[in-house]
């Protein structure tokens, strides 16, 4: 399908194809950022987050979650270990509440929490040419470090116009990519230079479609404070099964070992009949009985029809299961969705 065909069918899909073949810019500012510092910062975070923060070397990052004692999510985050502190990249809506909750968890530890959400903003560059596009902005001498970040698990601090910006790997839209965190004025300059070099800006519909096709859930949309990480399918990325205790670990271990990973509900992909894209909160039904709800949906150029993320009861999560949503046929498909998953033409 050509860009023209995408634009003719749905507005807002600018840059969709560039993510697959080159690079495109995803604007996500303002970002949510917390800086956790002090002599006990690593041991403190090791005791509250789900992943193995202590195993991170300076310059490495990982994905993690922060849970209640009942195993339900307070947030997910990227954890970036630096020489003097640890940065947490979170959804901006939860940054203030997380900072307050961390503060209340500090007793005698040497730990300080700073909310940098008003200071740092974030932009993503996604696609197989992301490395080249970003390296061209910061100069070829920095290309090896940016490639290291792009390859995953690493982050680099890059000098730019008298200050530092942070670059780290991201596959949020299902392709190689990087995120750049910087002050707002710096980020605007970086984005303008990327655009000037020919990198397009992703339309909002293109971002939604790519994210849903990749099967990437967002906290506050597809995951909430009622979600256990295993229900969202993020356990392989967010949870260490070898580290010591953390808040909510007892519940997670019980599910993994006693229940063999079985949870009452799970996030799935739903391919819908051609037609209107369902709204968030649309019930998913089996024979007229509600068994879940849609959390994200977009028209998918990959499939040529609407695609959604929905959390449904566990008996209805097998690929090929036929359900209904908004009076339309909805078929469970594996995540991430690939071109081979396309339903036969009708």
Please say if the pLDDT value at position 344 is more than 80: no
> Quick one: pLDDT at residue 151?
63
Q: Provide the pLDDT confidence category of residue 141 given band limits of 50, 70 and 90.
A: low
Q: What is the pTM of this model?
A: 0.92
Residue 295 banded pLDDT, cuts 50, 70, 90? very high
Question: First vs last Cα of the chain: how many Å apart?
Answer: 17
Please tell me the predicted confidence (pLDDT) of residue 15. Answer: 94
Question: Is the Cβ–Cβ distance between 63 and 171 less than 8 Å?
Answer: no
Strands lying side by side in the sheet with 73-81: 61-67, 73-81, 85-90, 32-37, 112-115
Using DSSP bridges, classify how beta strands 61-67 and 73-81 pair: parallel, antiparallel or unpaired: antiparallel
Backbone angles phi, psi at 209, to 5 degrees: -65, -45
Q: Please compute the mean of the pLDDT values over residues 151-158 and round it to a whole number.
A: 80
- Mean pLDDT across 138-148: 67
Q: Report pLDDT digits (tens) over 263-290.
A: 999 999 999 999 889 999 999 999 999 9
pLDDT-derived band of residue 340, with 50, 70 and 90 as boundaries?
low
310: nearest Cα among 274, 286, 338? 286
Sheet of 24-27, strands arranged across: 24-27, 121-126, 177-182, 163-169, 155-160
pLDDT in tens, 200-213: 999 999 999 999 99
Between 106 and 139, the more confident residue is: 106
Q: Provide the pLDDT confidence category of residue 144 given band limits of 50, 70 and 90.
A: low
pLDDT in the model for residue 137 = 87
Q: Among 13-17, 42-46, 248-252, 337-341, which is the least confidently predicted range?
A: 337-341
Q: Is the pLDDT score of 3 beyond 70?
A: no
Reported as a single tens digit per residue, the pLDDT across 15-33 is 999 999 999 999 876 789 9
């Amino acid at each position: 399908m050509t860009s023209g065909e995408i634009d003719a069918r749905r507005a807002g899909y600018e840059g969709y194809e560039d993510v697959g073949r080159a690079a495109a810019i995803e604007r996500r500012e303002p970002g949510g950022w917390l800086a956790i510092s002090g002599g006990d910062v690593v041991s403190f975070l090791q005791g509250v987050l789900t992943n193995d923060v202590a195993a991170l070397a300076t310059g490495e990052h990982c994905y993690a979650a922060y849970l209640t004692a009942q195993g339900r999510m307070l947030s997910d985050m990227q954890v970036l270990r630096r020489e003097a502190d640890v940065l947490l990249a979170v959804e901006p809506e939860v940054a203030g509440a997380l900072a307050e909750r961390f503060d209340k968890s500090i007793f005698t530890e040497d730990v300080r929490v700073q909310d940098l959400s008003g200071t740092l903003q974030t932009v993503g560059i996604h696609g197989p040419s992301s490395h080249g596009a970003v390296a061209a902005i910061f100069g070829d001498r920095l290309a090896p470090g940016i490639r290291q970040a792009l390859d995953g698990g690493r982050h680099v601090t890059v000098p730019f116009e008298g200050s530092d910006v942070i670059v780290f790997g991201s596959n949020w839209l299902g392709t190689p990519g990087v995120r750049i965190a910087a002050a707002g004025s710096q980020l605007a300059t970086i984005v303008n230079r990327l655009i000037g070099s020919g990198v397009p800006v992703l339309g909002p519909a293109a971002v939604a479609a790519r994210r849903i096709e990749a099967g990437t859930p967002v906290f506050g949309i597809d995951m909430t404070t009622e979600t256990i990480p295993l229900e969202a399918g993020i356990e392989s990325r967010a949870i260490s099964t070898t580290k010591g205790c953390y808040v909510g670990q007892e519940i997670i271990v019980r599910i993994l070992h006693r229940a063999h990973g079985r949870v009452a509900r799970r996030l799935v992909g739903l391919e819908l009949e051609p037609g209107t894209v369902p709204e968030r909160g649309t019930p998913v039904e089996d024979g007229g009985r509600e068994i879940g709800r849609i959390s994200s949906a977009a028209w998918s150029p990959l499939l040529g029809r609407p695609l959604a993320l929905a959390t449904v009861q566990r008996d209805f999560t097998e690929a090929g299961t036929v359900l209904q949503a908004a009076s339309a046929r909805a078929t469970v498909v594996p995540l991430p969705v690939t071109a081979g998953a396309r339903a036969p033409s009708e």
